[in-house]
Structure formats: C-alpha cells, structure tokens
A and B are shown apart, each in its own frame.
Chain A
Amino acid sequence: MEPEYLLARAKDENILEKGECGGAVSSIFQYLLDCDLVDGVLNLSHGEDIYDGIPSLIEDSKDLIETCGSLHCAPTMFGELISKYLQDMRLAVAVKPCDAMAIKELENRHQIDGDKLYKVGLNCGGTVLPITARKMIKLFYQIDPADVVKEEIDKGKFIIELTDDSHKELKIDDLEDEGYGRRVNCQRCEQKIPRNADIACGNWGTEPGWTFIEIITSKGKELVEKARENGYIEVKAPSGKAVAIRGKVESVMIKMAQKFQNKYLEENYPSLEKWDEYWNRCIKCYACRDACPLCYCRECDLEKEYYEDSGDTPPDPLTFQGVRLSHVCYSCINCGQCEDVCPMEIPVARIFHKMQKKYRDQTGFTAGISDELPPLYSPEKE
C-alpha cells in the first residue's frame, strides 16, 4: 500500500480535551467498541501517578477516558498479555513499535491470530523507566516528581509540566550522558513509527489538537474511514510541510538510534571478562525468558534434563544464556524487557540485539518487521 497521511481528531468533546493530540486514538477505540467490532481494547491506564502505566482491558467505551493521554514512563509489553490471556477475544490494541514487533513475531508463530486484532500504532521516541524518571526529575530538574502532572518527549527534550501549569525542559542527550533518560534499548531502537501496525499515530509534524495518522494496511484504511463515517473522528489532509517535518523527525531519530547502536553494541560493548562477571551473577530465575515476548514454548529446553545442571548457580552460560540465545536472538526485537526484569542487572538485551543486528546485516531479516520467520527457526515448537 502507498502511504496515506491524514490528520484526525475526536468529535466527542470529553475525549478531545482529555486525549492526546485531539484524542483520535481514543475515538477510534470508541468506534470499535460501540460498533461491536472488538470485544475489548488493550491500552494503558494511569495508576497512582504519571509514572505508573497499568495495562488495562477496556470493554465498555465509557471507560476509555481512563486510558486517555500518553505515558512515556511506562515501558510495558503487550505481546504476551495477548497471546497468553486474550487469545479468545477480538481486540484493539494501542501498540508502541516494540509491542507491534512482538505481536508480529507471535503472529508468525501462530501464537496470536492477527485477524482478531486491530493494531493502532503509536509513534515512539522511547520510554523512561518510572523510577529513573523520578530520580532524574528530582536530581536534574530539582522538582518533586509528585508535582509533575504531565511529561512529554519533544524535539530532543524531556519536558515536564507542573501543577502550576509551568514547564521545565532538559535535553535528553545530556540526561542520557549521565545514565538517565530513555531506556538504553529505546536509545538503540530504530522503529520510531510502527509501520507493522494497521495505522501509526503521533504528534510529529502535526498541528496542535490533531493526531497525525499514517495509514499502513487496508484494514487500517477501512478503520479510519469508518470511524469518520460513523461520526467518531473528523479528518483533514496534512500540509506538505507537516509530512516533511514528520519525515525529518523520524530520520533524525533513526540516525541517533544508529549512533547509540554503535555506542552500546560496538564501542562500549562489554569485554569478555565483563560478560563473565555478568554471568556469574545469574541466579537462574528465568525472569529474562519469562519476560521475553518471543519465548513461548510450552516446554522450555532450559528446563529439560539434559541442560539442567545440578541446580547450582550460576548456571553454565553456554547451556543457559547460550541456549536461549540460539533459540531467539535472530528474532530479538530489542524490546529490552529481559533487561528490565533481571534482578541481577545483567544487560542481557545487549548480546541479543547485537546478534540480531549481525544476522539482519547478513540476511536482511529484521525481527518484528519481516513477514517470514527467521531462516533458522524450528517449526517443531509450534
């Protein structure tokens, strides 16, 4: 499909006000629920504060208001929630690029039925770990994190809005130099616009109060048209300038990501000695495996007798991390969930991402994007 761009916003006044950039995404969800095209919407709702995004399944469109507004401090993953718990539902899901990549890989492995799914993509410049965000706001902004009512990543800055309506912003580059800012996986991520979803929505290039939508699939095209016909959104064509700005934002961010890939996967890649130190910490808790949206085997090789050593920790990295690496590194989407959940702070995703990148460079297979399965994939696991 040729790319098709439009600007959209909610017709419902409440959503127009509470939603991000005119609330087009929430309105599209409202349309899907009201017209019974889906049984539920999977999105994030606010927990105790803006640093607390909780995956929520919305089944009544009246409750969508709880999920309005974007959260950048919620590095969640939806892939496994769908494949494990929501397989029986017709679903619409708000996906960051990594969610969309995980879903794609799970679809390729017949763990998610793509026909039952509407994937509403959200452009993503990266997420910040909630506790890191709070520490960073205290340390560098010298603001009590509880006083922040909204945060935003725009034009290379992390912007916070306070209870008194004032704003404070700092350059993400500077924060990241100090070890704060976006998760390192997000820094390395090249997928800023989820072109593996049905539509990709965001604020790059748009005018205030409107969401910029890129239509990606025919399903997405029909979705937006029907949402408009049924009076949920209004749309207009973006200016050529808007399209150009959006394209520029994307290409700048991709270049930055490549720079970070070089930094983390080449220049500052841990030495073999450092990896030995990391593997020594492993307590064999399987958190990395369990958080990986691609690891789905019902019977995991790691728990088979021939790989189980005495149960002592650390496990032999060759038969533990090595086996996992040989199974999933080709498909690694660099979502970073494994690293996020590792109690021992082992930068697991680095080795997986490095391997995937090497593999991609040799074969052209991009995990989460390419339609086929990785060439070394064993179908026996399905």
Chain B
Amino acid sequence: MMKVTHTICPSCSVGCGINLITKNQEVVGTYPYKRHPVNEGKNCLRGRECFEFLGEETRIRTPLIKKGNLVDSDWEEVLNMAARKINSLKGEDIGILASGNCTNEECKNLKKFADALNVENIGYYNHNFPKFDFKTGTLEDLENSQFILVIGDVLKDNPLMGRRIILARENGAIIIATDYPEKTTTGINANKYIQITSIREFLDKLDSEIQSKLDERSTIVVGKLDHKKELNKLYQIVSKSNSKLIPVMGDCNSRGAMNILPALDTDDLKALIESVKLLYVVGDDPVSYTEESFKNLDFLITQATTINNTTLLSDIVLPGAFWAEKGGSFTNNTDNTQKFPQIVPAAGEALDDVTIIQKIAEKLNITF
C-alpha cells in the first residue's frame, strides 16, 4: 500500500512542506508538496533526504543502560532507574536540556516536568541566537523588498529562504551579502558581497551605503551571529530604519522552543551542565560540542533517536521518535506554527517523546 502524506520538513528552520511516500508503513521517498505556501513544492537536498534518518543503522530501537558498556534493557528497568536517580536529588542538582528539534508539545511537557521538580536549570542550545519576541518579517516581506542585507550564506544553508531573495532580485531588489569566506553562494548572487572579519564590527560601523538603503521596504536576513548581543544591535538598526528583520536559526523548532524554554548559548550551556549532578538530554548531542563540561556529571539520561557522542556517554538511553513517527508542531523562523501528523510507527520499542516524559513523571508520582 503506497501513500503520499503531507508533513513539515525537519531539516532547518524555514518550515517547508514536504510529502512523504510510504509503502507498507515504511517511508521510502519524498514527493513535492506544491500546495505548501512556504516552498511551493521545492525542497533542498537536505530536505529531500530527511526521511533517510528513519532507517539509519545507528537507530536506537531499545532502551539502553550502562553496565560497563551500554547494553539493551527494557522500559521498566530504565524508567525505574531514571526515577530513582531523579528522586534522590534536589531540583537544583538536576538539569534538563531540550533541543531546537523538539516539538512545541515536547518543550511544553519538559517545562511542566521541570516545574514540578523545581528544576530551574532548563533550556536548549540555540547557538548564538537569544530569545526574542519582536515581530519578524515574513517571506512575502522578503520577496517584496527593494533592498536586502544578508548576513551568512542563506542561499546555501537555507535555500528556500534564499529563494525569496532570488525572487526579490528578479523583481529588481538590490542585495548586499556579507560573511567571512572569500566567496559564498549568496555573495555571488548578490549585487555586492562584503567579506568581513567580525559581525560585531560590521554592525558597529555599518556601511554608509547600507545605511542609506535601509527603509520600510528593506529586510535584513541574519543567518549567523557570533554573540547574542548582536541580535539586539540588529533590532535597533531595523527599528530605526523601519525595515524588517528575519533571524534564520538552525533547527526546525528553534523559534517555537524559544517561546517555552530559555535559549542558551555556548557559555550558558556549559554553565548549566557544570552546575548539576544529573542531566536529562532530550533530542540533542551536547557532548559533541562541549565534552569538557560533562566531566563532573554523576548521571546522564539521554533521550535520542540515533547513537551519538552523548548517548555513548550516558547511563541510560531512552529511545525517542523521529518527527514522522510522532506528530506535533514546529514553529518556523517567520513565526508560523505548523502541525504535522504521525505517519509511520516508531522503530522497535522507541516511543514518542511526550509519552516518555510522561512515563518518567508517572514513576515520580508527579502529574501535570
């Protein structure tokens, strides 16, 4: 039985629609979703390959527990163990790390879970993008702009955001791109490319040509920051010139998670990990970017779909579900919250992540 089902691409924060082709309950390919307003059936390579993770060899299919090495376990054993460890500690000794790939529903459940345990050390790594709540530009604003400033290689990293820049250029917009490399894909398709050595310096001494062009029909697209303070600087620039700002973050729910959980940069992340004894990681792989911080941790619980550096270091691994195996919602860069359905069952004994959080809560006798 072949079926074509709409979903939202989990590969980046643009929030493109994509169709998954399933055959006998297995995802076998993708098909253009031309009715979707964000991307009109166009997807980048990463998007079209998004389903391949589902069948990866490193997929975690059963709960794992450390007995010397990580060995196969069962839900009862790992949940009891997790509950016992959590119960033995005060809220201040527990840390919870979600990810920008967690659905809105997972973030909400984690927040309630943390509140019930008086855990304040909670957040998700959002690279250098801080929490913000200002109104951002829309894809239509971008496409209809007369001037666009692009920070980072948005055409390459987020092609379906890049497409709107291309469309704007076709309509006569002037595009100025800036980034660190000598040459970028966005740069060669812009009217002008400015190679920089520091985003902060670039913003502090904003080119007079750019300043003169920024007005109510302009958009700044920012795909990278070196420090969270730079977003505020950008916000000041667009506020002064009445132009629009679109921050393009890394993960499919970076923007949604921000509304529920603290957005952490590298320093915040290190501080969080180093201040707790037990860490519960959901959907991220922090060991791969800050291994040092894990040295003093007593107990590590990881909820993940595939083996990664963090699961390898964990005491307990809880097998979670990929987006197509659970359903939920993601909020994209331009603040659209889009629901997506469960399309296939989770692999092996894996469970959807909200269920796992609730199962731990049950073991702890907490309700929310």
Contacts and interface: CB of A to CB of B under 8 A. Distances in A.
Interface residues on A, range: 35 or more
Nearest to A344: B166
Given A130-B34, A131-B37, A287-B42, A57 B163 contact: no
Contacts of A84: 29
A343 B163 contact: yes
Dominant secondary structure of chain A at its interface with chain B: loop
Q: Which of A81, A131, A313, A344 has the most CB of B within 10 A?
A: A344
Contacts of A56: 3-4
Nearest to A345: B166
B32 A344 contact: no
Interface stretch (B110-118, B154-162, B282-290): B154-162
Interface string B1-32: 11110100000000000010101000011011
A341 B44 CA distance: 9
Contact of A283 (B19, B28, B36, B185): B185
A36 to B, nearest CB: 17
B159 A285 contact: yes
Decide if the interface of chain B is mainly helix, strand, loop or mixed. mixed
B3 A57 contact: yes
A237 interface: no
A124 B29 CA distance: 28
B4 A343 contact: no
B166 A131 contact: no
A314 interface: yes
- Name the interface size band of chain B: 35 or more
B2 A57 contact: yes
A85 B35 contact: no
Contact of A340 (B1, B19, B41, B159): B41
B44 A285 contact: yes
B31 A341 contact: no
Contact of A54 (B4, B41, B166): B4
Interface stretch (A12-20, A45-53, A201-209, A366-374): A45-53
A314 B185 contact: yes
A114 interface: no
A222 to B, nearest CB: 27
Interface of B: 1-4, 6, 19, 21, 23, 28-29, 31-32, 34-37, 39-45, 48, 155-156, 159-160, 162-163, 166-167, 170, 185, 188-189
Question: Top 10 closest A-B pairs, CB basis?
Answer: A52-B35, A285-B45, A343-B159, A130-B35, A343-B42, A57-B2, A131-B40, A55-B4, A285-B44, A85-B2
7 contacts: A130-B40, A281-B166, A283-B159, A283-B185, A340-B32, A343-B160, A343-B162
